[in-house]
Chain A
Amino acid sequence: MSTHDAPNDRRGRPSRRGMLCGAGVALGLPWLESLTPRPLRAEAPGTRRRFLPIYLPNGAHEYWRPATAGSGPAWQLGSILEPFGAALKSKLTIVSNLENGSVFNADGSAHIEPSHALLGGAWLTCVDTVAARARLGVAEAAGISVDQVLARHAAFRGKTALDSLQVGLSTPLGSCDNEPCSSTRSISWAGSTSPMYKLVDPLEVFNRIVGVTRPAEPDAAAALEAKKRIARNKSVLDAVLENASRTRARLGARDQARMDEFLESVRGVERRVVGVSAGMGGLACALPSGYTGLRVEQSASAPRQTTKDYDKGVHADAMNALIALAFECDVTRVISYMLEDERSEFTYDNVPERAFTAESSSPKGGACPEYHTAQHAGGDVFATLTWWNVGKAADLCRKLDSIEEAPGTSVLDNTVVLFGACMHAGDHAADRLPVALVGGANLGLGGDRHLVLDKRPLRDLHFTLLNDVYGLGVTDFGEHKAGRPPQSIRELLKA
């Protein structure tokens, strides 16, 4: 979305929009040489609290789980988690024995079908979508997701130009597991009936980030033209709102609810138009002026993409850079990130198969089959794809850790990265979930630890984040079929 036109006639000249924030961008983006980031807000760096769930599709290979429990030298990264490396190990907690089956089964059974859709949709919501749909009488439902509880709370809302951002790397629009696609293609929910689909095109993400900033107008004539542009946009939106409101009055109750969803979307855009004109979105650093890097389009009918025209590694690197940019410039503090859609059938032709033991891996050669088949096949092909995705998550964490915020602390220290999958492995089980917490040292999270819990609901982890890490004081989150109330996982917190 661009509610104003980015000025691109000033490219090459240093300006407020001339540049990004130091993080060393490895992409071929036409981002200009560095200007000194300048904080525009009173809020001191280092007091920003962020949340970044990173979704790993299709479970994880068994070698995810470290061999031993404990802290420091008592535990080691195995072959799958190796990409985090020693430096990030000190900021990493692996949490074993979380389960999400109790959302669906009163007896806590880990068997759920269709597993990809139901467990994927419950990863950040801990809500049984089938029961929610029946209860609400709608075709598509879950519950508000943990990232959106944060984004909509006064501690977050209004602090940044964007409440939150949803991004991902999926390209083929594959099977949705016979459920509404919101369950496999999105993890964030604004409310019980509002899935938040993600952006996969780096250009759209870029525009979303810069689209909420006000360009500095070089002179009075340009400022007047900008004013007119906003007035024209506003007159379009006013007409749309006026007519839709009139139509709404003639609709039945269900369509009125649907029209309200439309009206809210239009007003959201309008707020941004007005907000930009009012100079909303004071940024901690200046943004680059344009983007000509990788473009990505999802497709249900385009030919299967191959290394010839698409490299998921490049896509991941571009998205990682944009996420880091959004955090560094404080455009938003809540981002959810899907490394792929759940039940992905993407063929990673560009990832050579590796040979794995529990401790290490080495090149093996040969191509991996598509992801979902690999998940079922298990063995090296599945381990390779888990490892590759772990590597991309680790790259992002490293990048966030390289951005200094207050002296001696990094963006990562002020961010909780929740990295994991909705199911265990090829068995599709809802227990023994692969879960990692990275960063968050300034938010009270410990690190360098493999924590093996007695079986606990995933919801307890979300509840702990909301209450003990972000201090929101919520009394409930998600569901438990047997009615057990959520409880904090104290072991996660620094003593």
Chain B
Amino acid sequence: MTPRSNGTFVQRCAFIGACAGVALALTFAPGCGDGTPRTASGTGGRGAGGVPGSGGSGGADPGSKAMHRLNGTEYNATVADILGTTLQPATGNWRGGEVGGFDNMAAVLGVDELQYGRYLDAAKTLATEVMASEPLRSRFVDCALDDRDCASASIARAGARLFRRPLDGDERQTYLRVYESSRELGDDGNAAFTLALQALLSSAEFLYRIELDPEPASSAAHRLGAYELASRLSYFLWSSAPDEALLDAAASGTVLSDDGLGATVDRMLDDPRAERLATNFAGQWLGAREVLVHPVAPKFWQWSLRTAQAASQEIVFYFGDFLRSDRSWFEFPEADFNYVDGELAYFYGIPADVTGFGTFQRLENRTDRRAGFLGLAGFLAVTSLDRRTSPSRRGRWIASTLLCTEPPAPPPNVPELEREDGPDGGAATPANIRASLERHRRDPGCAACHALFDPYGLALEEFDAIGLARKTYEDGVAIDAAVTFPPSPSYPDGLRFQGLDGLAHAVATNPNFGTCLARKLFTYGLGRTLTTQDEPHLARARAAWLAPGQTPSVRRLIRALVTTDGFRSRRADDGPVMP
């Protein structure tokens, strides 16, 4: 079952021996008995306390990464940027690769004959479209294609963009031969170049980001080549290929220096293409995509597909605000603004002069009880069940998604809050979930784990399963949003707070909150799951990010992350362990 979006296991109790944490360092102590979340590598978090290796990551293992197939989103963005096409050949039917909450993980982006067939079809469609349009064609062609030298130069020009590096002599020959065979079949120069373009678009060197090791047999760490680094940056920040300027920075080597890299990152984050980072990174991490497919029971008549779309978009915009501005990340839980279109303003009951659907306005509204990320309708809905809130689910989501502390897997054979009541009973929905949950937690085995995340969710009970404010449960009992966490090393006296505001402050000051963003960004930026070897790089980035006298903005963290050896270097893999 899924911690992220399963609704029921959290009502199960007791505990099975080993906790679920795997490579990603943060786990709860086995048994949850002492109520202590812990990390495998120190406490991490805001400030310098407990950060190991603050001397830097020099010499630390940068890790290896499989050759990285473009996912559907990256494919579409790449062909749009390079070819200028408006076609979006990749659909949801294309083979993806999702693990750990992100769909750009190299290790699971395999290919098969079916997917390759889709690539071939798309290559043909794209090449034909580009060559039928003079403005698009002129990106690569400025001479007469019946002439072989013109074709060769055009192939080199298109190839350098598509392969994200210059073609070598052998490669130019290979693709020129496609042109020549086509001519031999009687095709004209234009048709023959179209076929060569099709071949470039069908090549592994286009479909994958390939990074080379000078000595594939050695596992020594080495810096990436300038073009390889450029591609890492562009797929991290733009979900797409480098543009001409970035390729130039690679050609001149500028991108390799600390200053050049920093300036490049600034330019890239100022570019409109950086919106894709908000859409694709925050869209996945913070649940914006999930809002769109999240089931909501019909009794919530206020919720429609349009509400879902607007609430999803608001999450992306809300994160995007922090990405663009120089604002501190630690305001994310508490900042009092919303992005609303007419639909969402009406839903929230916010007086606004925005009308209609899909045109968004940033509003500061201090008159309501809603503020911060944790007050966004999309977040509140996606962490609920379709017909009621689940404080355990919300709490667990906050613990695992925002704080990177993974509670343990549920135990076997435990009672559920909603169970089968026989053939005609159907599903009983508790009218007062807090009371049900408290009964459930009387079992001491249940209590130990639930105490670690339920309070986060219980503090949000003043918002229903679609995020509308409420004062009472369906049984008429007033909602009590005051919560208590048991003592822990981070909070020796325990922690008490009330409602959304109290929760937002607790999250913002939690030692894991800043670290968690760094982990998620690094995971997404590298396209691989993190291991303990990545800790020194994270520690270094964290130290630079949180250095006194600077605003700890998202942009500053991104600059710190890409400057580490974890991002700029690689090593050959340890070899496959194949059957």
List the interface of chain A (C-beta within 8 A of B).
1-3, 63, 109, 111, 113-116, 135-140, 172-182, 190-197, 199-201, 204, 208, 228, 231-233, 235-240, 242-244, 246-247, 250-259, 261-262, 264-266, 268-269, 296-304, 306, 343, 345, 347, 355-358, 367, 369-370, 372-374, 376-383, 426-428
* B575 near A252: Cβ-Cβ < 8 Å: yes
Cβ contacts under 8 Å, A254 to chain B? 64, 66, 573-576
Which 8 A/B pairs are nearest by Cβ-Cβ distance?
Answer: A1-B117, A378-B420, A377-B427, A139-B107, A111-B412, A137-B577, A298-B92, A370-B295
* B1 near A113: Cβ-Cβ < 8 Å: yes
* A297 near B97: Cβ-Cβ < 8 Å: no
* B115 near A304: Cβ-Cβ < 8 Å: no
Known: A204-B93, A231-B185, A261-B111. Is A243-B171 also a contact (CB below 8 A)? Answer: yes
Cβ contacts under 8 Å, B175 to chain A? 239, 243
* A109 near B412: Cβ-Cβ < 8 Å: yes
* B121 near A236: Cβ-Cβ < 8 Å: no
B247–chain A nearest beta-carbon distance, Å: 19
Most buried by B among A179, A243, A265: A243
Q: Is B294 an interface residue (CB 8 A)?
A: yes
* B216 near A250: Cβ-Cβ < 8 Å: yes
Q: Looking at chain B, what size class is its interface with the partner chain?
A: 35 or more
Known: A197-B112, A297-B92, A369-B386. Is A253-B117 also a contact (CB below 8 A)? Answer: no
Q: Is B213 an interface residue (CB 8 A)?
A: yes
Contact among A177, A208, A299, A355 for B1, CB-based, below 8 A = A177
What are 23 A-B pairs with beta-carbon distances under 8 A? A111-B413, A136-B578, A180-B97, A180-B99, A194-B110, A197-B95, A199-B93, A235-B178, A239-B177, A239-B196, A243-B171, A251-B216, A261-B111, A298-B91, A298-B93, A300-B96, A301-B283, A304-B294, A369-B297, A379-B426, A379-B427, A381-B427, A427-B413
Cβ contacts under 8 Å, B121 to chain A? 1-2
Name the residue on A nearest B67 (C-beta).
Answer: A255
Instruction: Fill in one digit per residue for B302-313: 1 if any A CB lies within 8 Å of its CB, else 0.
Output: 000100110010
Instruction: Fill in one digit per residue for B384-407: 1 if any A CB lies within 8 Å of its CB, else 0.
Output: 011100000000000000000000
Q: Is B108 an interface residue (CB 8 A)?
A: yes
Q: Is B199 an interface residue (CB 8 A)?
A: yes
* B185 near A181: Cβ-Cβ < 8 Å: no
* B577 near A136: Cβ-Cβ < 8 Å: yes
Name the residue on A nearest B214 (C-beta).
Answer: A250
Instruction: Fill in one digit per residue for B260-288: 1 if any A CB lies within 8 Å of its CB, else 0.
Output: 00000000000000000000000100000
Q: Is B530 an interface residue (CB 8 A)?
A: no
Q: Is B300 an interface residue (CB 8 A)?
A: no
Cβ contacts under 8 Å, B118 to chain A? 1
Contact among B4, B205, B418, B421 for A247, CB-based, below 8 A = B205
Most buried by A among B100, B175, B573: B573
Cβ contacts under 8 Å, B187 to chain A? 232
Cβ contacts under 8 Å, B298 to chain A? 367
Dominant SS at the B interface? loop
With A and B bound together, what is the CA distance between A180 and B100 in angstroms? 8
Cβ contacts under 8 Å, B449 to chain A? none
* A136 near B216: Cβ-Cβ < 8 Å: no
Q: Is B174 an interface residue (CB 8 A)?
A: yes
With A and B bound together, what is the CA distance between A122 and B170 in angstroms? 45
Cβ contacts under 8 Å, A304 to chain B? 292-295, 305, 308
With A and B bound together, what is the CA distance between A113 and B19 in angstroms? 12
Name the residue on B nearest A137 (C-beta).
Answer: B577
Known: A265-B113, A269-B117, A304-B305. Is A377-B420 also a contact (CB below 8 A)? Answer: yes
With A and B bound together, what is the CA distance between A177 and B292 in angstroms? 18
Known: A243-B171, A258-B66. Is A373-B7 also a contact (CB below 8 A)? Answer: yes
Q: Is B409 an interface residue (CB 8 A)?
A: yes
* A377 near B418: Cβ-Cβ < 8 Å: yes
With A and B bound together, what is the CA distance between A238 and B198 in angstroms? 12
Cβ contacts under 8 Å, B3 to chain A? 178
Name the residue on B nearest A61 (C-beta).
Answer: B420
Q: Is B43 an interface residue (CB 8 A)?
A: no
A273–chain B nearest beta-carbon distance, Å: 10
Sample of 12 more A-B contacts, CB < 8 Å, known A228-B186, A258-B67, A302-B293: A176-B99, A231-B185, A251-B216, A252-B575, A254-B66, A298-B91, A303-B292, A304-B295, A306-B305, A355-B424, A372-B7, A378-B421
With A and B bound together, what is the CA distance between A17 and B278 in angstroms? 49
* A178 near B4: Cβ-Cβ < 8 Å: yes
Contact among B2, B100, B182 for A175, CB-based, below 8 A = B2
With A and B bound together, what is the CA distance between A113 and B117 in angstroms? 36
Known: A178-B4, A257-B578. Is A243-B203 also a contact (CB below 8 A)? Answer: yes
Known: A109-B412, A239-B203, A370-B386. Is A194-B112 also a contact (CB below 8 A)? Answer: yes
Instruction: Fill in one digit per residue for B1-39: 1 if any A CB lies within 8 Å of its CB, else 0.
Output: 111111110000000100000000000000000000000
Q: Is B208 an interface residue (CB 8 A)?
A: yes
With A and B bound together, what is the CA distance between A399 and B210 in angstroms? 48
B86–chain A nearest beta-carbon distance, Å: 18
Cβ contacts under 8 Å, A369 to chain B? 295, 297, 386-387, 427
With A and B bound together, what is the CA distance between A372 and B170 in angstroms? 54
Instruction: Fill in one digit per residue for B110-138: 1 if any A CB lies within 8 Å of its CB, else 0.
Output: 11111111101101000000000000000
Contact among A195, A232, A266 for B182, CB-based, below 8 A = A232
Name the residue on B nearest A195 (C-beta).
Answer: B110
With A and B bound together, what is the CA distance between A201 and B95 in angstroms? 13
Most buried by B among A1, A250, A381: A1
Known: A356-B423, A379-B423. Is A373-B386 also a contact (CB below 8 A)? Answer: yes
* B412 near A300: Cβ-Cβ < 8 Å: no
With A and B bound together, what is the CA distance between A204 and B412 in angstroms? 41
* B107 near A140: Cβ-Cβ < 8 Å: yes
Contact among A195, A201, A235 for B93, CB-based, below 8 A = A201
Contact among A192, A252, A300 for B92, CB-based, below 8 A = A300
Cβ contacts under 8 Å, A268 to chain B? 113, 116
